[in-house]
Amino acid sequence: MTPVDRYFGNDLLVFQKGRSAVQTIFVMVKCELGTAYKVAAEAADLEQVSEVHSVSGEHDLLVKCYVDSYQDIGQFVVDILQKLPGVKDTFTLIAFKAFS
């Protein structure tokens, strides 16, 4: 058995030995002009951030995060992601199920 068992019923990563479960969220980020790469680098250094992608369209970045189930998602976005220098706006999506 691996250290992490993936439960696809609701896209929670369930950790063994009493560790907490996490929820997957995607945050679309609009950046101030000329700051997208700096914001991406700062976001990538956060513990909860799994991936950061630059994207075209209305937003500049797509940030994939794993937030502990006991942590308030809104508070994480407002207190951590939105306070990164250069972040202008965010749009958060909560993932339910992962398909592979």
Contacts for 48 with CB less than 8 Å, ≥ 6 apart? 65, 66, 67, 76, 80
Pairing of strands 87-94, 22-31: antiparallel
CA–CA distance, 21 with 14 (Å, rounded to integer): 5
| 4-94 CATH fold | Alpha-Beta Plaits (3.30.70)
Q: In this predicted model, what pLDDT tens digit does every residue of 38-86 receive, in sequence order?
A: 999 999 999 999 999 999 999 999 999 999 999 999 999 999 999 999 9
pLDDT of the residue at 48: 96
pLDDT of the residue at 14: 45
Answer whether 0.85 is exceeded by the pTM.
no
